Amino acid sequence: MKALFIRNLKVYFRDKASVFFSLLAVLIIFMLYLLFLGDMWISNLPDLPGVRAMMDSWIIAGLLAVTSITTVMGAFGTMVDDRAHKIIKDFDAAPISKGKIVAGYELSSFVIGVIMSLLMLVIGELYIVSRGGAWLTPTALLTVLGLILLSALCNTALVSFVVSFFRSQNAFSTASSLLGTLVGFMTGIYMPVGMMPSAVQLIIKVFPVSHAALLLRQTMMAAPMAQVYAGAPAAMQQAFEQEMGVVFHLGGQPMSVATSLAILMGTAVVFYGLSILNFSRKRR
Amino acid sequence: MDKIIEVTGLKKAYGSVQAVRGLDFYVERGKLFAFLGPNGAGKSTTIDILCTILKPDGGEVLVDGHRLGHEDAGIRSAIGVVFQDHLLDPLLSVEENIRTRAGLYHMAGKQLNDAVKHAAAAADVTEFMRRPYGKLSGGQKRRADIARALINTPQVLFLDEPTTGLDPQTRKSVWESIRTLQQTTGLTVFLTTHYMEEAAEADYVIVIDHGDIAARGTPTELKASYASDQLRLAASNDHALRALLEDRGLAYTCAAGSVVVKISDTMDALEILALVKGHIKGFEVLSGTMDDAFIGITGREIRE
């Protein structure tokens, strides 16, 4: 399995185009933020010191959540390609079990998701600081690292389940572009959660990736938010948090951190199980 | 006799299409065994089954003492396969490809390094080890495929149409490498082909058509039983020549301006020549080829 794991990593990173395309959604969101989304949201907020840094942290947190799922999806492309080009036959004829072959794809996709998220974190932090924000505190950094791992785990399980249905490259690339287009909405980045109709809000609140975004926002924005809302009434901050998807409310009650963590972990376990079922069902 | 592969009653259908209908054959250890047949005859299906990739619908298969369906891992460790398609990663170098595939056989460290070196030397790929597989020529790719198949020093090497799509010169050199490998290492080679001249070089040939064995034997045996020798006559007096042949009750055909008489033995030509020498300006005696044998067996020329 180690050999396959390393091979999958090499195949993914060697193909510069596929790396680029798995980051395309992230780049588009970031460009839109730089061009106008950022200014638009900041103009809607009270003119307090540190607003810019707070919103920069907000967008980077969202981008981290998006990077994780789109790169995991891109990494799973190797598996679909191998099936389409029959490369899988070469593995099947070797004394390695099918379970280990699948595990090799999953492990490498997880690791690719983590590597790309870390890269995104570095770029994001450099961006925040270059625009006058502050570095993450060591505690916040550790929490973010933990969240990156958890989010990659959850996304690997999710994508693995989805990919277990695909045999053709066409189906896969369609699904990838669909994900790339929708993920910005599903995580409440193109349009903050608070602006969406309630039905859409509900979809966002059950989408595991938005919980990764939520937890990342809470962690990365804690310090900048404290600075911005230092002298303001608590209700003002709460309204902002609810509007921008820093805290989700369900049935009038704020969802706890534990709930979001449980959703991420639950998704990982359930979808991992489902994908194993689906992969074994496909076997002749 | 040491049988390394034994197949009895092998069957496989795709839906209502019978790809393989009850094959029985065996392969002797250390021999070069060829499966000859047109496209769609069931060659690849048979190879895929023997390589444990495809489950047969019925029949027994023993490969190097391992029973298919029960000891698949044993079979996989004992075989090397060169598939019809090029199945290595185009963006990785030949060396990276061979190394990662070596990892599939539970090799590591020095053992792996030695195996890579050995396989590379045996398949003659050392020169382009560091080049990306996708940038190689067809012949080089095929050699890399063979190196990959040799990584676990297999007992049997399966090759599914190893020379298809190569230019004649490369085809010849790839073929010679395979032959040399089999002769020097005592490796058993099982290959499929639709080239007659390749089948003619094998130790044993099975002609397969429509999923059934149409004929089997050494190339010499096949030629002897299915191909007849020919006497080609260039007539100086066409009319008289034909009349003479008809008079003697000798069947003949006309092809490319010459009169062709089928003879059972090349020596028979002498008698006929003595008879017709006044009416001919030249002649040729041809012994039967695998092509003739194939046409004799299947009743038609090979479909390309």
Whether B156 and B252 share a structural domain: no
Q: Which of the four pLDDT bands, split at 50, 70 and 90, describes residue A284?
A: very low
In a domain, residue B254? The reply is yes
pLDDT of residue B302: 53
B7 and B78, same structural domain?
yes
Based on the domain organization, do B202 and B269 belong to the same domain? Answer: no
| Percentage of residues in chain A having pLDDT higher than 70 | 99
ipTM > 0.90, yes or no: no
- Enumerate residues 6+ apart whose C-beta is below 8 A from A70: A22, A23, A24, A25, A26, A176, A179, A180, A183
Interface of A with B in 36-95 (CB under 8 A): 85-87, 89-95
Residue B298 lies in a domain: no
Q: Is B87 close to A7, i.e. CB distance below 8 A?
A: no
CA-based nearest residue in chain B for residue A84: B87
Same domain, yes or no, for B123 and B216? yes
Please indicate, yes or no, whether residues B124 and B89 belong to a single structural domain of this protein.
Answer: yes
Same domain, B98 and B219: yes
Question: Is the Cβ of B255 closer than 8 Å to some Cβ of chain A?
Answer: no
**pLDDT of A62-114, one tens digit each?**
999 999 999 999 999 999 999 999 999 999 999 998 889 999 999 999 999 99
Q: Is B114 helix (H, G, I), strand (E, B) or coil?
A: helix
Query: Is A90 within 8 Å of B83 when comparing Cβ atoms?
Result: yes
Size of interface A-B (CB pairs under 8 A): 67
Contact between residue A224 and residue A51 where contact means Cβ atoms under 8 Å apart: no
- Cβ atoms of B5 and B62 within 8 Å: the answer is yes
Is B300 within the bounds of a domain?
no
Is the residue at B301 inside a domain? no
Q: What is the pLDDT of residues B141-180, one digit of tens each?
A: 999 999 999 999 999 999 999 888 888 888 888 888 898 8
Considering the domain boundaries, does residue B64 fall inside one? yes
Is A90's CB within 8 Å of B87's CB?
Answer: yes
Question: What is the per-residue pLDDT across A36-68, written as a single tens digit (0 to 9) for each?
Answer: 988 888 888 888 888 999 999 999 999 999 999
Q: Are residues B186 and B127 in the same domain?
A: yes
- Among the ranges B29-43, B66-80, B196-210, B261-275, which has the highest mean pLDDT value? B66-80
> Do residues B28 and B80 both lie within one domain?
yes
* Binary contact (A95, B92; C-beta < 8 A): no
Contact B298, B214 (CB under 8 A): yes
Q: How large is the average pLDDT for residues A101-129?
A: 96
Q: Mean of the per-residue pLDDT values for chain A?
A: 91
Higher pLDDT: A30 or B254? It is: A30
Which of B48, B104, B145 to probe the A interface (max A CBs under 10 A)?
B104
pLDDT > 90 fraction of chain B, expressed in percent and rounded: 47
Q: Please report whether residue B181 resides in a domain.
A: yes
Longest CA pairwise span in chain A (Å): 68
Over range A8-37, report the average pLDDT.
92
**Is some CB atom of chain A closer than 8 A to the CB atom of B124?**
no
- On the question of pLDDT at A282 being above 60, the answer is no
Averaged confidence pLDDT in chain B: 88
Q: What is the CATH number of the domain that holds B215?
A: 3.40.50.300
Tell me, what CATH number does B277's domain have? 3.30.70.260
Higher pLDDT, B292 or A225: A225
Binary contact (B100, A7; C-beta < 8 A): yes
The number of domains in chain B is 2
Q: Is B135 on the interface with A (CB under 8 A)?
A: no
Structure tokens given for B154: 């297999």
- Give the one of B92, B101, B148 whose C-beta lies nearest to A14's C-beta: B92
pLDDT at B10: 93
* Domain identity same for B46 and B165: yes
**Torsional class of B218: left (φ above 0), alpha (ψ -120 to 50), beta (otherwise):** beta
Terminal Cα distance for chain B, rounded = 35
Distances (CA, A) of B177 to A55, B38, B100: 66, 24, 24
Do both B219 and B241 map to the same domain?
no
- Angle (CA) B256-B257-B262 rounded to 5° is 75
pLDDT tens readout for residues B29-82? 999 999 988 888 888 899 999 999 999 999 999 999 999 989 999 999 999 999
What is the average pLDDT across A271-283?
81
Q: Which residues of B touch A3 (CB under 8 A)?
A: 99-104
Could you tell me the residue range of the domain that residue B233 belongs to?
A: 228-287
B251 and B141 assigned to the same domain: no
Task: Return the structure tokens found at A220.
Answer: 């990365």
Q: Are B250 and B281 in the same domain?
A: yes
Mutate to test the interface with B, among A6, A7, A11, A81 (most CBs of B within 10 A): A7
Q: Does residue B262 lie within any of the structural domains?
A: yes
pLDDT digits 0-9 by tens, A139-179: 999 999 999 999 999 999 999 999 888 878 898 989 998 99
Query: Quick check: A28 pLDDT over 70?
Result: yes
Over range A235-264, report the average pLDDT. Answer: 91
